Amino acid sequence: MAINLPDNFVKQYSSNLQILTQLMGNRFAGKCREESIEGEEKYFDQLGNVVAANRTTRSGGGQFPDSPESSVTHYRRQVTATPYDTGLFVDRIEKAQTMIDPESPYARQQVVALNRKRDQEFLTAALGDAKTGKTGSGTAAFTDCPVVDVGTGGTGNQGMNLEKLIEALSALEVSGVDVLDPENKPYFVWTPKQKNELLKNTQVTSSDYAAVKALVSGQINSFYGFEFITSTLVPYVNTAGTGVSADWSTTTDAPVDTDSTDIRGCFAYTKNNILMATNPEITTRAEERADKSFDWYAYAVARFGGVRMEEKKTVFVPCDESP
């Protein structure tokens, strides 16, 4: 069915299409490991640790010590990419009655829609179980990730506070993550609610207050070793508190609190730990359709998939959003 544009007719002096407020995406571009994918699925191999042995035998007198034979374990993770597309018809006659070219804003809206799907795939990869093994038949459970439980009464009982940030960074370092390595750059994912709570939970007299205030106002985007990513797509925690309910509205893409926990699945991660595979990138096209009375048709398509590469490099930080 063609889209009607009665509010944008020339007699109303409209000069452009207003894009209404909506959930935005593409928050994680450039903040993860990015790869291309050709087939339906792709595998990424990993190597475990190698331990050096103490060499006790010396060379001399024509005698040479045996070559050491160390062991190393090979691991593998699977990525499966999901295709997404969207298409919109614009009535040819109504297009002629407007002062605008509607294809461009429609294409822009489609890009926004696909970027939300990209972010949903990222969040699902970060907070879900990962497929492992030669054929992807194994599972690396999200419950193996470190959890920051600062509060009373169970996981995520409190909202955002400074202690949670400190514990999250500590959990990465205790696991042996070199947070000074650019490839291990720490990020913290939260919603606007947690960002504002951090300011409220920091005393005015605290030396951290000025830095947190600058963070909330948008003057800086890093604090306590983390670069922050604010997204309204962060899913809610499940009833058990061991993971998230990766459910989003089919009409608005907003996260759905299916378990009524009021707890968001915030988390810390390192840049190289979440792998996103894409192919094709978001591609748009607008053209006249001869089979539809030469009405204009705007189309966009993309394919995304992701996987968490290591559990110790993602820290689960649930935050209660109850009033």
Residue 152 pLDDT greater than 60, yes or no: no
**pLDDT at 16 > cutoff 50:** no
What's the mean per-residue pLDDT of the chain? Answer: 83
The reported pLDDT for the residue numbered 202 is: 61
> Lowest-confidence range among 16-20, 167-171, 251-255, 280-284?
16-20
Mean pLDDT along residues 243-261: 93
Residue 11 has pLDDT above 60, yes or no: no
Residue with tokens 């920091």: 202
Predicted confidence band at 2 (pLDDT cuts at 50, 70, 90)? low
Mean pLDDT value across residues 95-116: 73
